[in-house]
A = this chain, B = another copy of it.
Amino acid sequence: MSGLRARQKADRHRRIIEAAAALFRDAGYEGAKIETIAAQAEVSVGTIYNYYQNKGDILGAIVSMEVNEVLNAGRGVVANPPANVGDALDTLLGIYIEHSLHYLSKEMWRQAMAISTQLPDSPFGQAYTALDRALTEQIRALIARLQALGLVRRDIDGHALGELVFNNMNMMFIEFVKRDGARMAELRTAIRRQNRILVAAIGV
């Protein structure tokens, strides 16, 4: 098994994702029929199911791109954080939030979140959990960095704190995507306000 078959496979994958992403944006997740995605991608319905277990997994592939991009952007902040606990957290979480609607619309996020809770053991469900964990780990890494820099007390339970910060942000983000009218700036302000309580407690 070498060239041709692998190339066609990769190509079909790409075509399916592109068709799906376009249709999800245009018609919404529910509105995008598998049949239409298949037609657009120039494959048959059966082929789509040969590549993805279900409709949710197609969305999953797109979500994964988005989150990986976010994780990547976050690395810079962890490596070189602002010299102030509040700003450091705000900068990292701000990056997450600002990048979040790049590939995905709010409706797509809603669907993705829904599927990940509904089917936590499906390929997508597990991938989504892994992405959440990766974000949590990045926040923990930032906290550890701040502790190393002497900006956060050493006796703070960084593990628990990282989870607390992530959980709160994530829940706020869920509420944000649930309301179409919600603005990013308000979300960031609200999170900053909550984190202020923590910042006061953990600073040296």
Contacts and interface: CB of A to CB of B under 8 A. Distances in A.
Contacts of A196: 157, 160
A45 to B, nearest CB: 21
A197 B197 CA distance: 10
Interface in A96-136: 110-111, 113-115, 117-118, 120, 125, 129
Nearest to A162: B194
B197 A202 contact: yes
Interface string A173-193: 010011100000000001001
Contact of A118 (B114, B129, B172, B201): B114
A156 B114 CA distance: 34
Given A194-B160, A197-B157, A179 B120 contact: yes
B198 A197 contact: yes
Given A171-B167, A198-B201, A193 B160 contact: yes
Contacts of A115: 114
Contacts of A197: 156-157, 160-161, 164, 198, 201-202
A107 B43 CA distance: 35
Nearest to A161: B197
A170 interface: yes
Given A171-B171, A197-B156, A200-B201, A111 B118 contact: yes
B120 A163 contact: no
A168 interface: yes
Interface of A: 110-111, 113-115, 117-118, 120, 125, 129, 156-157, 160-161, 163-164, 167-168, 170-172, 174, 177-179, 190, 193-194, 196-198, 200-202
15 contacts: A110-B118, A113-B114, A113-B117, A114-B115, A117-B117, A117-B174, A117-B178, A120-B179, A160-B190, A160-B196, A163-B194, A164-B197, A167-B171, A167-B194, A200-B201
